[in-house]
Amino acid sequence: MNIIIVGCGRVGRSIAEQLNTEGHSITVIDTNPDELDKILDTENVMAIEGNGATLSILREAGVGNCDLLIAVTAADELNLYACLLAKNAGVKSTIARVRNPEYISDVNYIKDDLKLSLAINPEFTCAGEIARLVKYVGVMSIRSFAGGQVDLIKIKVSEKSSLANKRIADSASLLKGGVRFCFVERGGELYIPDGEFILREGDEVSFVAPAAAASKLLKSLGVISNRARSAMILGGSKIGFYLAKILRETGLSVKIFEKNPDRCEELSEDLPGVMIINGDAMDEDLLMSEGIDRADVVVCLMNTDEENLLASLYAKQVNPNAKVVTELGNLKFRTVVDELPLDSIIRPKHLTGQYIIRYVRGMQNTIGNNVETMYKISRNRAEALEFRVRENSEVTGVPLSRLNLKKDLQIICISRGGKVITPGGNDTIEKGDSVIVVTKQKGLDDLRKILR
């Protein structure tokens, strides 16, 4: 597909990098030549210096032959205008990043009038992801499929875990409740395990389970015990705002630390019931006086990765039982970060890229069995995808044991009429199903491509 990206900041670069690996033809537009140079140094894309919200620049970028335009500049108004202009110039689909909380609900109301295919709010999406992690304190990550019916959950196997030193087959029968193991990360390697694979202490294990049974399963594993009651958010960013609002609505006691007094005033007005503390979240004495050693959840959302990493390590040191979530904007020194004792890492720009890639794959096959949900796993080395089966094909009506599946690929769950099925060899895929697949194969955009 021919794709134009307006805005080449960190989010724009991340989207361009991910779409480039999918094999699309990418053109990026930005007024800042330095930002364009950064992406030209690493990616095979076309770059145009100029204002992406002007018709002359869009025409120079080939807007007439463009399948998708994605506007992700820092200005919501410019993004919306660029999308409207591009749509009128012949672009098939447009996506705009809209970050202002006051705009996002209005944009959805007039989405059709703006000729906008999709409006994304990375900060709100990120806050929702963190809120799901907060729900299960001992979980490293949790992703949802099938309209929230199925969860993909990642945990670390501890020394005392009932999973340690057990075969996958024995662990699955022990847990019951429709559990299916998908990935195991160990010593920098990623495995899609079979029933004979033995789990070890320190393994990071991802499994799928019905959402209704997730809490019970995690309690049986000793991963979670009591529900979180208090959260400390270090940094009053947009993510912090959205997260505080979500957590407060679920009954948690929430504190936000923000050193900018003007921002504190804004947060105080917009977040009734949330305690706003005007102070430096890197001040150890302040954090201790406000109870960081007793908080159930600590979320680090400050301006730099370095601050977030240091604050997270400090929080784990003084409060080992707390759930600590760390926002990271860059992927630098990834191997070092992976070795740090961190609970959960959240990368907003990466989440945005995944969201857009899912949409793009859906565009590529709008009639057949296309991608509904997609998550990239373990530094993009694997994917978990949900396909909606919209028509009969060579994969439907055939027992799974007779399907000639590609290597490093498993069908792990089928959702049919509100019922979650953990499939066996005699089960079949039928029209109307949602099918969840895990694989090391890249770029799957149709369920039929799971076959050799």
Query: Residues 364-417: pLDDT tens digits?
Result: 655 455 788 888 888 788 999 999 898 899 999 999 999 999 999 999 999 998
Model pLDDT, residue 142:
87
Nearest in space to 6 (alpha carbons), one of 64, 80, 70: 70
Encode pLDDT of 354-376 as tens digits.
888 888 877 765 545 578 888 88
Model pLDDT, residue 364:
67
- The string of DSSP letters for 61-128 reads TTGGG-SEEEE--S-HHHHHHHHHHHHHTT-SEEEEE---HHHHHHHHHTTTTTT-SEEE-HHHHHHH
Nearest in space to 27 (alpha carbons), one of 11, 8, 9: 8
Does residue 225 register a pLDDT over 60?
A: no
Model pLDDT, residue 296:
93
User: Using 50, 70 and 90 to split pLDDT, how confident is the model at 117?
Assistant: confident
pTM over the 0.75 mark: yes
Encode pLDDT of 233-261 as tens digits.
999 999 999 999 999 999 999 999 999 99
Model pLDDT, residue 100:
82
Model pLDDT, residue 49:
97
User: Using 50, 70 and 90 to split pLDDT, how confident is the model at 14?
Assistant: confident
User: Using 50, 70 and 90 to split pLDDT, how confident is the model at 224?
Assistant: low
Model pLDDT, residue 167:
92
- The string of DSSP letters for 328-373 reads ----TTHHHHHTS--SEEE-HHHHHHHHHHHHHHHHHTSSSS-EEE
Model pLDDT, residue 136:
77
Domains, the chain, ordered by start: 2-120 (3.40.50.720), 126-131+138-220 (3.30.70.1450), 230-346 (3.40.50.720), 361-450 (3.30.70.1450)
Model pLDDT, residue 69:
96
Model pLDDT, residue 376:
85
Encode pLDDT of 292-340 as tens digits.
999 999 999 999 999 999 999 999 999 998 999 999 987 666 667 777 8
